């Protein structure tokens, strides 16, 4: 069955460093992969989308890579700030092309000042 895995352990880093989060998937060939941010008690907020034919996508301090051979996406936050502390969710677009998303369980990032 389709499976998406993100680091279950929280990631703790120092302010100013680069945070790198991993998303691995199996038994799936997504055309698109999305990353969302979720704060406690809030709904997910869209951050970035990357297509299968794109290796890398950037938006301000965020960078996403997508390796369809390894079946892996990496999500980087450069010059991290305490305000970046949140849970980050990886999501794959459903094969039915309807907008249905399959989410990983998320990785919690804690940036210490």
CA dihedral sign of residues 14, 11, 29, 26 = positive
The closest alpha carbon to 9, from 109, 102, 104, belongs to: 109
**Residue 59 engages another protein in binding (rule: CB under 8 A):** no
Taking CB under 8 A as the binding criterion, the range among 15-23, 62-70, 74-82, 97-105 that sits at the site for another protein is 97-105
* Distance of alpha carbon 97 from alpha carbon 12, whole angstroms: 36
Pick 43 or 113: Cβ nearer another protein: 43
For the CB of residue 105, give the shortest distance to another protein in the complex, in Å. Answer: 4
Pick 81 or 105: Cβ nearer another protein: 105
Site string (1-40) toward another protein, x via CB under 8 A: ---x-------------------------xxx-x-x----
Do 2 and 25 touch, CB atoms closer than 8 A? yes
What separation in angstroms does the CA of 12 have from each of 19, 84, 92, 109? 9, 11, 25, 6
Binding site for another protein (CB under 8 A): 4, 30-32, 34, 36, 41-46, 49, 51, 89, 93-94, 96-106
């Amino acid at each position: 069955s389709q499976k998406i895995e993100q680091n279950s352990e929280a990631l703790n880093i120092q302010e100013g460093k680069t945070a790198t989060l991993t998303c691995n998937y199996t038994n799936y060939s997504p055309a698109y992969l999305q990353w969302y941010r979720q704060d406690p008690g809030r709904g997910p907020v869209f951050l970035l989308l990357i297509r299968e034919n794109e290796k890398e996508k950037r938006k301000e301090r965020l960078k996403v890579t997508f390796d369809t051979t390894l079946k892996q996406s990496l999500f980087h936050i450069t010059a991290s700030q305490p305000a970046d502390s949140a849970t980050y969710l990886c999501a794959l677009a459903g094969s039915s092309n309807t907008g249905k998303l399959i989410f990983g369980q998320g990785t919690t990032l804690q940036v210490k000042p």
